[in-house]
Structure 1
Amino acid sequence: MYDRLQANTVSWSDAEKKLLCAYLEHMEPRETIEKADSDRSPTGEDWFDWAEELVEDEPRRAFFGYVQAALLGSPMGVTEVGICLLKGRGVEQEPKAAVRWLAKMAERGDSRAQSYLGWCYAVGKGVEKDDHQAAYWHLMAAQQGIASDQFNYANCLLAGRGVEKNPRQAVEWCLKAAEQGLAPAQFLAGSCYDLGCGVAVNKAEAVRWYTLASVQGHGDAQDALGLHLELGSGVAADMNQAAYWFRKSAEQGNSEAQFHLGMCCQYGKGMPADVQEAAYWYGKSAEQGYASAQSNLGVLYETGQGVAQSYEEAYRWYAESAAQGDPDGLYNLGLCYEYGKGTEPNLAKAMDMYERAAAAGHEGARRNLGRWGKG
């Protein structure tokens, strides 16, 4: 976690010592047991090591150890005091105080402190939100090889958040993190190669990064990998494997993957057809607001496939989908209004839905408008 040779001991002003000592005043007697050594008094490093052994099971005692380490000038101890105060780990959460200690160590070059300080500025925790400061501290930590900050700085460059937008440099930093095995960075690298963002389109390379992220359980990567396997894009088409990865992602709650898995179930792609399971996955996706799934679920309710037939439920899901501008949802809702399925007939509303669907390229809507002389 730390390079023990990275810095000399930390020196304190009287005011800083007083602040650190104040944390010890609230500790119970049993939590202030000294770290005994028969030959010498414990050093800051001793206290730090002692605290590290306790941090998971006895965070309050660990915090005491970090404070003792900090008072003896341990840079690692100071950083951990800041992190504990930020997270409320073993002590009452004090974000502003946390930023004070993290900033002191970040300025001394501590990469862990820089990383946390960048996050504080990014989200406005303990300090006023400042994208420029966030990007700066993410870069400082990234330059020291912290994968999460390489990824965060890449996102800053992609979005132009706190720095000038630069997709090419973003990919360079993203790849540094991806090569360290950071799954979100691997997914982002795949997306960049997939879409040609900051780098030339390379579907095979996109698939490689999606695969590396997928085997680590990254849900978005699993869905993207499934799509490439379905389409044979950058990899040989394999519908069985596509369905496998859609399921992996869907089970993590990814709404797009749930929709894609529903399609596999409904049409028997990569698995035996099972319309009841299709309805289940469409429902999961629809409840999360995925418009295509809402429309498809509406069709199943309208036709009574995999669910009890209900025009009212069909109308409800078509309306949800249409509200998001989905062409199929608009078209199907238009049919409900035209024929009074699940709602009162309303030709004016039907024409409105058809016109909006047709404008989005829906051929069925265009034909229906033609029936009424509006094509």
Structure 2
Amino acid sequence: MFAREVLRSVDNMASKRSNTFKVLLASLAVAALGYVLRSPSLYLRRETKSSLGYPKDSLLNFTELTAEYGYLSEEHKVLTDDGYILTMFRIVKARNCHRAKRSPPVLLMHGLLQSSSGPDAGLAYLISDACYDLWLGNVRGNYYSREHVRLDPDKDPAYWKFYIEEIGIYDVPAMIDYVLNYTGFEKLNYIGFSQGTGTFLVMCSEKPGYCDKVKLVISLAPASRQMHTQSKIFRTMTQTFYRMEGLLSMTGLQEVFSKGGFSQEFVAFFCQLSGVTERLCEKVIDAFDHVDSTHLGSITNQTTRVLFGHFPAGTSVHNMARYGQSMNSGRFEKFDYGREQNLVLYGSEEPPQYNLSATTVPVMCIYGKNDGLVDTRDVEWLMAQLPNVLEMVKVEDPQWNHMDVTYSQYTGDTIFPKIHEYLLKYTSA
């Protein structure tokens, strides 16, 4: 009798754990689906979030976050030639730099769905502490750059008709010009993570002369073509956008993965709710990014909780659709609108390729073996197309992946020494 009662009790406990896990998975699935939509905001005041246990760093904007860690930063507004108003940040005083700033300035550009804000594991602090004059960009459509001189992003679909083409033709050149004009230098050093490299390549292809304004490019997990991307989640998601963009536009959906919508607020709440939900969020990140499912993770629990207060930061459906297209192509090319529309727009049935040979600036590349979003084969293909590659560095840690570049607790030991080495080579004392 006693044995049967024990077994019944164990079965009940197992059943409860199973049901709890299913509820958590269902909740996260709903939130993940909601991420896609620019849903109405569920605004919670900062005080309310703080009382609910949100990490303080997840509630701060860029200038507040840097100040929290002993850095002084400035906000700058940049106007593009097509009317988009972008926000840049400059760290003017670093906590651990006790000498004059090195020159020229350094421009750090984020990846897809990111912004300049993020957890304290980021490269910004490391670069600033090494006494570089660091500027951080924010491309159109993200949380900090959601303005235009005449278009309202909440009302005008035309605001969202952009992909990496427009970012490369307008945003990156505008930010480079602004930094150079403000500081008085003729050239700067550029660090691009993922999309931040891809858009730079677009600029060099489509804006002759702009590569000459850059002394060095440090390319971190560069996204160009993504033919071998192994993340099933990212591949399925972006290809769905590519196939359904027309239908989504008809329903009025132009913006996706926005910061501040109901879904992002829900996930930020969910991932800090308890140790169980926190670990579940970590597993979702693992499944999204890693090639090797045995990855133990180098992103701390605290960083995960802070991360979802700032990520994702938003982009356009059209941009996500372009990434879906890149999964099917062995070329780094413009948007494929179909044979008839391509003939009208490009004068050819296929979209033109970007001219990678135009990227004449010296390039140093760092990438990881366990990157499920930007596969090593695509990185190596890209580097073979560029005319001035100084070095390709595969991170020694075999588990190093895409998100580790910006969020790993080991960034200072793994990739920053090589970044610092090359910045010094192209920097004046």
Task: Tell which has more relative contact order, 1 or 2 (C-alpha 8 A, sep 6+).
Answer: 2
Max radius of gyration: which structure? 1
The TM-score normalised by the length of structure 1 is 0.26
**Greater helix fraction, Structure 1 or Structure 2:** 1
The TM-score normalised by the length of structure 2 is 0.23
**Greater strand fraction, Structure 1 or Structure 2:** 2
